[in-house]
Amino acid sequence: MVCVLILAAAAGAVAAFLILRIWVVLRSRDFTPRESLSILVVAGSGGHTTEILRLLGSLSNAYSPRHYVIADTDEMSANKINSFELDRADRDPSNMYTKYYIHRIPRSREVRQSWPSTVFTTLHSMWLSFPLIHQVKPDLVLCNGPGTCVPICVSALLLGILGIKKVIIVYVESICRVETLSLSGKILFHLSDYFIVQWPALKEKYPKSVYLGRIV
């Protein structure tokens, strides 16, 4: 009986520590200014990649190196990213020496995949996402809604919880979302450091979000 009480007390202490650590990581937004920021961008198939590349086009070369994460079966996004980087280098020769990398992880959910099986594929994706995040250790994660961004953002948050590095998570809800958040948005609204919406109706529903008008 005493052993059970000791184990219960220890488990409670660990749980309390983790909750406190998560609270500290989510509340902390201190960031030391620097000349360049390593950025990790999560791209999704179709419109998600198009929107995120438009947003990246307005960012300076200070956001480098750039790491892109796509689903392992998403060749379309890989082609768009390569074209975007080549065009960027052509327009500005100084970009020619800016490094970018494309990383691949399994999809969290395939089209028409059943929801129960999504739990297992998401866990598998997260299992492979954390080593990637730990290797890259980006200063900033930027995403806009593809399912792949959930395991990446959770892994980035875990990096801070473990005391390895605080990663700033910026989520930009898709321009297509006028009155309701996407499933990824509903999850990451509570985990991101900055949650940006592009329609005033969403700002009214989610006062803690940041409304900057249409940015893509």
Domain ranges of the chain: 37-211
Q: What backbone torsions phi and psi does residue 123 show, to the nearest 5 degrees?
A: -65, -40
E strand map for 113-174: 140-143, 168-172
Domain 37-211: give its CATH superfamily: Glycogen Phosphorylase B; (3.40.50.2000)
pLDDT at 189: 95
| Greatest Cα pair distance in the chain | 72
C-alpha torsion sign, points 212, 59, 22, 25: negative
pLDDT at 5: 42
pLDDT at 66: 95
**pTM for this one?**
0.82
Q: Residue 211, exposed/middle/buried by CB under 10 A (0-12, 13-18, 19+)?
A: middle
For the chain (length 216 residues), average pLDDT per consecutive 10?
46 48 56 78 87 91 92 91 91 72 84 68 87 96 89 94 95 93 92 95 94 86
Of 136, 216, 117, give the one whose Cα is nearest residue 175. 216
pLDDT at 23: 54
pLDDT at 10: 42
CA distance linking residue 132 with residue 137, whole number of Å: 8
pLDDT at 106: 87
pLDDT at 211: 94
pLDDT at 27: 58
Q: Give bridge partners of residue 100 from the DSSP assignment.
A: 66
pLDDT at 133: 96
pLDDT at 24: 54
pLDDT at 4: 43
